[in-house]
Amino acid sequence: MLEIDPDGVVDHLRAGELSDQVDRINGAIDGIENHDEVDRRDTYGRITFRHVAYRYYFTEAVAAYLH
């Protein structure tokens, strides 16, 4: 359970390193899902972060061909 002021929830969840953010967000979701008195929608769930995709660039020859 988050023991912070409701106005500070977003700042708390976004603070720190990415791994800390993931742990706090998923901890909050666990708390919501395990609490019987919390009303929740079915449109959300655990957050998973994917690795950034590889980035590819056209060579100068391909860029010239496309133009």
Query: pLDDT, tens digit, for every residue of 9-62?
Result: 888 888 888 888 888 888 888 888 888 887 777 776 777 767 766 777 788 888
Locus of tokens 């603070």: 15
Tell me the C-alpha distance between 17 and 22, whole Å.
9
Check pLDDT > 80 for residue 1: no
A 10 A CB-CB count for 20 gives 12
| CA–CA dist 63, 66 (Å, integer) | 5
Res. 5: pLDDT tops 60: yes
Which residues have C-beta within 8 Å of that of residue 12, sequence separation ≥ 6? 2, 4, 24
Question: What pTM, to 2 d.p., does this model score?
Answer: 0.53
